Amino acid sequence: MKAAPTLARRLSVSIAWMLAGAVAFIATASSGIDKLIELEIKSRIPARLVHAIDQLDRNEVPSNADMLALLKTMSHEQMRAVVLSYAGVALLSLIVIIVYVWLARRLGARFAAPIIAVADGAKKIGAGDFGHRIVPPPKLTRELQGLVDGFNAQAEALERSERRMRFQTASIAHELRTPLTVLSGYIQGALDGVFPRDDAHMRALLTQVNDLSRIIDDLRTVSLASTGALALEVADCDLAGETASVLHALASGFAAAGMRLEMELAPALVRADPARVRQMLRAVLENARRYAAEGGRLTVRTFVQDDECVLRIEDRGPGFPADHRAFEGFWRADLSRTRATGGSGLGLSVVKALADAHGGEVSISNRRNGGARIEIRFFARDEAVRLAVPRLAKLSA
């Protein structure tokens, strides 16, 4: 497909055509005016002088008397012919100016139309109409096409962001409502004497409070990481050691779920916040325990690949759907699961936020033989120090 012309090229071509047209029109019309002046003079002089003029046009010599009379007459008509000629050229120039001012306004309006549409669209977006899009007119220049496409892309991104914000707001309200309802019911029942005020009920209340605290902490972590305000206590950290400690703490839960742990933990030194690394690993492992317990096996590996240290978790569960949005808050692969059976839906979004805060990345894929694979990659310790030096130098400059 042929690329659209640039604005400079379109303007230069338009101006060149307008100038060429103006010159051609004035030259042609001036010749016509001179012809009209000649006819007008011939209509007012005697016929014999007209005949003498025709003879001269045919390169014939008229009689001496006619030639003298013609010279005398032309000396009187010359000034008048010059004045009429200049007046005609001035009139033609005025007509050309009027016509080309009109054409320039049309041309300017055509170039300005997309800009005006973008300005109007920005007002509508500012008023909350995130569904507004600009339909680009045909034959736009490259710059104007880029402007319209950029506006539509930004509008679409804002619309997605608004939908995500509405969804997350509704999800937060839903997730907080359940423990608050339970707390309110238990407390009201205890006040009314329906429930005894014993340790079992207090532990149930404490569980709901812990759930609320976990949801609030996860929301705070995602919010701080997305704004770059998350404080990290970075130190030398061995992914293998941190992974082993988390797996040891969660071993009983995996055993109760009927899952067998397989570990291949090679030393992998990184510069990271050990507490946040453990938080990320717990979130991924809890996700696997909730959704992939039927697979019966979970493989956890740490290894070094090029300049990166990799933490890989593989299960034998159903895997992720092709259209998954696992890194969006409150998304669940199985919509039938509630918070009690499927977690808050914030786990992997927290993992993504923490990985980004460390300058690493997290990826999700499905194994060829079934099951999910989640990889968290950090820069190796030496590479992380090498990349941090220019950043620190830039900050101190």
Asked if 222 and 255 sit in the same domain, the reply is no
Residues facing 270 on adjacent strands? 237, 380
Looking at the DSSP assignment, which residues form a beta bridge with residue 114?
Answer: none
Final residue of a structural domain among 186, 203, 226: 226
Q: 170: domain CATH number?
A: 1.10.287.130
pLDDT at 342 over 50: no
Contact 86, 34 (CB under 8 A): no
Instruction: Give the tens place of pLDDT for each residue, 160-205.
Output: 878 777 766 666 676 677 777 777 887 888 788 777 777 777 777 7
Total domain count for the chain? 3
Whether the Cβ atoms of residue 169 and residue 158 lie closer than 8 Å to each other = no
Domain that holds residue 169: 142-226
Higher pLDDT, 285 or 323: 285
The listed range with the strongest mean pLDDT (170-174, 256-260, 318-322) is: 256-260
Q: Is residue 328 part of a domain?
A: yes
Domain boundary among 95, 126, 157: 126
290 belongs to a structural domain: yes
Compute how many other C-beta atoms are within 10 angstroms of the C-beta atom of residue 373.
17
pLDDT at 352 over 80: yes
What is the CB-side half-sphere exposure of residue 316 using CA atoms within 13 A?
12
> Model pTM?
0.51
Give me the count of residues in the chain: 397
Are 247 and 293 contained in the same domain?
yes
Domain CATH for 257 = 3.30.565.10
Instruction: Tell me what pLDDT residue 168 has.
Output: 65
pLDDT value at 345 more than 60: no
pLDDT tens for 101-125 read 888 888 888 888 888 888 888 888 8
